[in-house]
Amino acid sequence: MRNTWIVCRRELNSYFTSPIAWLLLTMYSLIFGYFFWNLLSLFIQQGIEMQMMGQASPMNVNEQIISPLIANSAFLQILFIPLITMRLFAEEKRNGTIELLATSPVRDVEIILGKWLAALLLYGWLVLFTGLNLAFLFRYGNPDWKTTLVAFLGLILQGAALLAIGTFISTLTKNQIIAGACTFAACLLLWVFAWVTSYNSATWATVLSYISVLSHSESFNRGVLELKDAVYYLSVVFLGLFLTTRSMESLRWRS
Amino acid sequence: MITVQDLTKRYARTTAVDHISFSVTKGEIVGFLGPNGAGKTTTMRMLTCFFPPTAGKATVAGFDVLDQPLEVRRHIGYLPEAPPLYLEMETIDYLRFVGRLKGLAGPELEKRVAFVIDRCAIGDMKNKLLGKLSKGYRQRVGLAQAIIHNPDVLILDEPTSGLDPRQINEARELIRSLAGDHTIILSTHILPEVEQTCEQVIIINKGKLVATDSVANLQARARGAESMLLEVGVRGGEFPSPRAQQRIEQVAGVSRVVCKEQFAQGAVFEIEASRGQLIRGDLARAIVNAGWELNELRPAAMSLEEIFLQLTDAPAAESAPPDSPAPPPPAPDAPAPEANA
């Protein structure tokens, strides 16, 4: 546990001493801010129109702003997660620092957990930082905070799962660009697998759709804590990290 | 401190290390010598538990590399060929990180960090980014991280490669000064390095052990058959080279004479004497009595370099003329050198 934290802390420091963390924060804030501004403007526009027409149909901040906002940023992850994970192992392999880690009195699992945790913390930092936008909604409106919290939890869980996959892919190569590109492809595929059920209801399509992260994000997004979706995310995390340990072991046998 | 028995590492197609055995006692500096690609790094990586051996057994500080890798790693400091530095970190933060990774904490960590900074003379660089350091300083930081947890065994993979001559000397000094506290294995393909720094030498070639012996023994072994260079000349007139050669061959104890170089006024001969015979005086007398000029007579002691070439280049040695002296038997305490493929 102590070793995991040592590895994690170094990893986080390196994210923040190199421009990566700051660049990601800036990009994510910009895009998220734009989404937020867009949805908010639309919401206000609709509000005014409804008042002018004298209709008092109910408006809901959660449904009309927070939920689409979270759905959008869940998709944004596909772009950001490869950028976070691609360096984790690929850079160490290229610089030879993996030899230091692998010959220190530290278990492989501790190294892997430390790195994944650092990636998750950076990712959580991105999400929370941009979540500040929502403070305006709470200041001037009256959204349901429980629903919002569950939606954010879903966002973090999905991130954790994709980060674990990215961590695994990063152990496969020395080249950060290859690691990034493959992680991007994997994330994108995991996202769009859900599409098949819209035109096909065969068993394989149902399975494919179940594998997709998209089909598990909806309930969280609506503010419903579904156990089976949480279990799905946690199993992907477990699978990703398990594959990483196997990959690191095979690295030892092969190299 | 280190025992290695029939250690073998096979890859899909090649055998990088093939049944090598040796042992190193506490406090020794051992030079691990071999041409590039001989299997030095592979052996070191097995000892540091970077990867497991395919077959064979190795123990470091009493712990088995297969069964107790974490214990082994706790007792080993390792400097890979390229120092494993995180280029975006400051020197002192890096050393703290490595220290923590090796199990140090609190005031003890700070004490060790201060100690290695002082020991490796990197105080000026402690707040610089590692990426900005010169090659020499990077090597020193690499050495500093290897000794930070005061390991019993230090494994250094080509610690002087890529340094300039002055830095090489400094690095050697530093390594020699560490010998008292640590058992050191260092790999190199530079021979003078072994002669200057190490007490023992292990020579491997193409994954096989060629010889293990002390440096002094190896050198003595080379001097077993005394070989000399002799330059003879005449003052005026033609130098009768064949006659001179015959005359030299008649000196008692001479086993072989080769004319290395011939010019109008003289010639250079390489003379080998059978072992244990001191014939320089007889040679000089013979030349002078024949009325020639004795211009130069010096022992041509075989350097470690020649031994090394002889040992690692077995086919060439086998095809050497039959009258060349047979290699003397190995010292009794050393394992017999394996036949080379």
For residue A93, the distance in angstroms to the closest alpha carbon of chain B comes to 10
> Which pLDDT does position A56 carry in this prediction?
65
Determine the length of chain B: 341
Question: Which residue among B45, B82, B88 sits closest to A14, beta carbon to beta carbon?
Answer: B88
Q: Do B50 and A253 touch (CB under 8 A)?
A: no
> Which pLDDT does position B313 carry in this prediction?
66
Q: For B207-256, write each residue's pLDDT tens digit.
A: 888 888 887 777 666 655 567 788 888 887 778 888 888 888 888 778 77
Q: Which residues of B79-105 are buried (b: 16+ CB within 10 A; e: fewer)?
A: bbbbbbbbbbbbbbbbbbbbbbbbbbe
Q: Which residues contact B155 (CB under 8 A, 6 or more apart)?
A: B44, B47, B48, B76, B77, B78, B79, B146, B184, B185, B186
B10 by Cβ neighbours in 10 Å (0-12 / 13-18 / 19+) ranks as middle
For residue A175, the distance in angstroms to the closest alpha carbon of chain B comes to 17
Q: How many CB atoms lie within 10 A of CB B9?
A: 22
Q: For B58-70, write each residue's pLDDT tens digit.
A: 999 889 999 999 9
For residue A252, the distance in angstroms to the closest alpha carbon of chain B comes to 5
Residues of B in contact with A12 (CB under 8 A): none
Residues of B in contact with A105 (CB under 8 A): 70-71, 73-74, 101-103
Q: Do A252 and B51 touch (CB under 8 A)?
A: yes
Q: Do B50 and A102 touch (CB under 8 A)?
A: yes
Q: Residue B155: pLDDT band by 50, 70, 90 thresholds?
A: very high
Report the residue of chain A nearest B72, measured CA to CA: A105
DSSP code, position B326? P
Question: Which residue among B84, B100, B102 sits closest to A99, beta carbon to beta carbon?
Answer: B84
Residues of A in contact with B88 (CB under 8 A): 14, 17-18
How far, rounded to the nearest angstrom, does the alpha carbon of residue B158 sit from its chain's CA centroid?
Answer: 11
Q: Which residue has the higher pLDDT, A63 or B138?
A: B138
3-state helix, strand, coil in chain A (%, to 5): 85, 0, 15
Query: Measured on CA atoms in the order B317, B319, B323, B328, is the torsion positive or negative?
Result: positive
**Is pLDDT of B329 > 50?**
no
Q: Residue B304: pLDDT band by 50, 70, 90 thresholds?
A: low
> Which pLDDT does position B336 carry in this prediction?
42
> Which pLDDT does position B277 carry in this prediction?
63
ipTM of the complex: 0.88
Residues of B in contact with A254 (CB under 8 A): 11
The domains of chain B, with CATH numbers, are 2-221 (3.40.50.300), 225-299 (3.30.70.3190)
For residues A106 and B184, what is the distance between their CA atoms, to the nearest angstrom? 22
Task: Retrieve residue B7's tokens.
Answer: 């250690």
Lowest mean pLDDT among A68-72, B184-188, B326-330: B326-330
Q: Do B73 and A104 touch (CB under 8 A)?
A: yes
Interface test with B, best of A100, A111, A251 (most B CBs within 10 A): A100
**Is pLDDT of B322 > 80?**
no
Task: Supply the range of the domain harboring residue A43.
Answer: 2-254
Task: Retrieve residue B31's tokens.
Answer: 């030079």
Q: Do B85 and A102 touch (CB under 8 A)?
A: no
Q: Residue B174: pLDDT band by 50, 70, 90 thresholds?
A: confident
Residues of A in contact with B66 (CB under 8 A): none
The one-letter amino acid code at B40 reads K
Does residue B64 sit in helix, strand or coil? strand
Residues of A in contact with B101 (CB under 8 A): 3, 6-7, 100-101, 104-106
Residues of A in contact with B71 (CB under 8 A): 105
**Is pLDDT of B48 > 80?**
yes
Report the residue of chain A nearest B81, measured CA to CA: A96
Q: For B192-212, write each residue's pLDDT tens digit.
A: 778 778 888 888 888 888 888
- Written as tens digits, the pLDDT of chain A (255 aa) is 889 999 999 999 999 988 889 999 999 999 999 999 998 898 888 888 888 887 666 777 777 888 888 888 888 888 999 999 999 999 999 999 999 999 999 999 999 999 999 999 999 999 888 888 888 888 887 888 888 889 889 999 999 999 999 999 999 999 999 999 999 999 999 988 888 877 877 888 888 888 888 888 888 888 888 888 999 999 999 999 999 999 998 888 776
> Which pLDDT does position A112 carry in this prediction?
96
Number of domains in chain A: 1
Q: For B70-126, write each residue's pLDDT tens digit.
A: 999 999 999 998 899 999 999 999 999 999 999 999 999 999 999 999 988 888 998
Task: Retrieve residue B119's tokens.
Answer: 């020991």
Q: What is the full DSSP assignment across A95-129?
A: HTTHHHHHTSS--HHHHHHHHHHHHHHHHHHHHHH
Q: Do A13 and B89 touch (CB under 8 A)?
A: yes
**Is pLDDT of B301 > 80?**
no
For residue A246, the distance in angstroms to the closest alpha carbon of chain B comes to 14
